[in-house]
Amino acid sequence: MQRGKGTATVTADAEPRLGRFRLRELIGRDGDARLHRALDANGRAVALWTIPLARLCDDAASLERFRRTAAATAQLSHPAIPAVLASGEHAGTAFVATVMIEGPTLAERIADGTLTLDDSRETLGRVLSALDAAHRAGVVHGALGADIVRHSGAAAMVTGFGRTALTGERASRSDDLVAAGRLVEQLLSGHDDQPAVASLLERLRERGAAAFPDAAALRGAVAAPTGTPLPASAATAKHARRWPLWLGGLLLAVGLATGAILMSRPATVPPSPKPSPQSSNLSSPVPSPPPAVTRTAPAADIVPLPPPDPAPVPEAPIAPRRPPVAAVAQALRSIPCALVTVEETGGRLLVTGTAAGERAEAAVREAVEAAAGGWEHGIDLAAADAQFCAPLTGVAAALDANRGLAEPLTTTLATAEVATTEGSEPQLHAGAPLILEMRAPAQPVRIQVDYFTIDGTVIHLLPNPSDSGTALAAGAARRLGDRAEGGRYWTIGPPYGSELLLTIATAEPLFPTPRPEQEPAADYLAALLEALAILPDDAPAPLAVARFITTGP
């Protein structure tokens, strides 16, 4: 990503330009802001938001807010957020340029009636995940709605980030949550025959966005299983009559006092006994001792009180419901900056893996506390540098798509110390060879293998200058980096620490020409996000597998 500098010019054929961008048709507007379809110097289509710089110079705070917000937006790295390619000021015009996203809007898809419940929940999941990532980075969208969400290829993309920087709106996270709540109602209102959906919609209608503290919480509610029946207490809450605890106690006290009076009255005025009411909120009634009775008439004339009701047997406490292990694992997948596994060991839930940065580690711990239910659980996380959050976030959708396959894409280490589960960290020491074994999913793919080092560099293991063979037949396996087989090989060296191995599979090569064998990770990530965003609509969804590797002397 670059912040462009230059001058707005007009070519000899009167084609309007803004620096290196050639302006095509106007496709949207928001007050003084304009959205153009444009082409960059390489002929690539971009979405270009512009506004007269004078609108931001009314006060110094507005211009500074634009620069700060544009810079923060440029740092966003999420598979559902189009990458910001450039931003800045050119000859009296402020601009933000992003990857152009084609495809029908969510509003058009809703109008066509083509969204199933699964489609709706998947779309909302990506939108809310993008919103959560933006909020955690300090970026507010300000105009979330069905008309700005586009379906690109097999996934939803949230366009419009960066517009807020230009319009100077003081939108807040709460505004975004309110808009997100409306979007949830819009997509799920036709599926309220599902108990969990009905419960969620009722919660939104009663409390609005205030029912959820943030976009991540709303995303979790949307992702809840729809086939689970509501608890009886929740399903009947609207029809059951609830008595407050103090009223039950008052009724009980009145009943006991009435019983005492009836027992002490002369028998010539027989009482009309009634059982004492008992509050359903009390575990058992407290019987009062029988008062002394002064008899002024023969005992035969006394009408005896009915025997007290037997004390209810206390109900056995209900053990908290333990969610399936798979449900806890699914909840943790909403945290793209961590690779974790979840398993049951000796009746205890154990979460292990690696988190990229302190924020990711805190998010894992919070998610486990929220999702584990009645499980006694333990968490064993290794720490990796926060820089690895960006590549993991960029391929989060591809990682999820691969996990859902019966025969997924796999990459393992062919060394004596091999980690067999995603997220665990094998130890490789100085001089050790880096040898990989890859297996394709149940369809032919082209693979890209990248190794992100601790010093901010990415090494492209495949394709490389000695090997451009990226094609793998369905289910086929191949070995990479084995010196005995010839070709390129790699050994572990300094600097040491937790590093990231990433394999991506697509139907066609991601890049028309191979990348440099080694380059800055930031440069590669910008190109990678762009390549993923412009995959053809009819192309199979990209797949990815990632793992951390700990290196040391």
177-226, pLDDT tens digit by residue? 999 999 999 999 888 888 888 888 888 888 877 788 889 889 888 887 54
Q: What is the pLDDT of residue 13?
A: 39
Give the DSSP letter string of 93-138.
Answer: EEEEEEE---S-BHHHHHHHT---HHHHHHHHHHHHHHHHHHHHTT
Structure tokens at 308: 């007290």
- The pLDDT > 90 percentage for the chain reads 31
The arithmetic mean of pLDDT across residues 104-125, rounded, is 88
Q: From CA 430, how far away is CA 65, in angstroms rounded?
A: 47
Q: Are strands 17-18 and 21-30 parallel, antiparallel or unpaired?
A: antiparallel
- Which pTM was predicted? 0.46
Rounded CA separation 462/469 (Å): 8
First-last CA distance in the chain: 35
Buried/exposed 368-379: b ≥16 CB within 10 Å, e otherwise = beebbeebebeb
Structure confidence at residue 438 as a pLDDT band (50, 70, 90): very high
Q: Does residue 401 contact residue 541 with C-beta atoms inside 8 Å?
A: yes
How far is 474 from 407, CA to CA, in rounded Å? 10
Assess whether pLDDT exceeds 60 at residue 388. yes
Q: What integer pLDDT is reported at residue 486 of this predicted model?
A: 81
Q: Find out whether the peptide bond into 495 is cis, omega within 30 degrees of 0.
A: yes
Cα–Cα dist 408/402, whole Å: 5
pLDDT (0 to 100) of residue 59:
62
Cα 378 to Cα 368: distance, rounded to the nearest angstrom? 9
CA atoms of 468 and 462, how far apart (whole Å): 7
Secondary element (H or E) of residue 217 = helix 215-222
Pairwise pLDDT comparison (467 vs 236), residue with the higher score = 467
Q: Between 215-222 and 195-207, two packed helices, what is the crossing angle to 10 degrees? A: 150
pLDDT, residue 421, reads: 40
Stretch among 49-53, 154-158, 305-309 having the lowest mean pLDDT: 305-309
Q: What is the pLDDT of residue 114?
A: 66
Strand partners for 21: 18
Mean pLDDT in residue range 278-294: 40
Q: Mean pLDDT highest for which of 51-60, 317-326, 523-532?
A: 523-532
What does the angle CA 411 – CA 415 – CA 417 come to, to the nearest 5 degrees? 100
pLDDT score recorded for residue 159? 92
- Higher-confidence position of 72 and 10: 72
Structure confidence at residue 345 (pLDDT): 74
How far is the C-alpha of 172 from the C-alpha of 168, rounded, in Å?
Answer: 12
pLDDT for 310: 53
pLDDT at 65 over 50: yes
**If pLDDT is split at 50, 70 and 90, which confidence band does 326 have?**
confident
Q: How is residue 41 written in tokens?
A: 């110097």
pLDDT in tens, 69-98: 888 888 888 889 998 888 888 777 889 999
Classified as helix, coil or strand, 478 is strand
> What pLDDT score does 15 carry?
61
**Minimal CA–CA distance to 161: which of 52, 47, 64?**
47
Residue 426 has pLDDT above 80, yes or no: no
Q: Tokens representing 103? A: 């495809």
Q: Reduced to 3 states, what is the DSSP secondary structure of residue 46?
A: strand
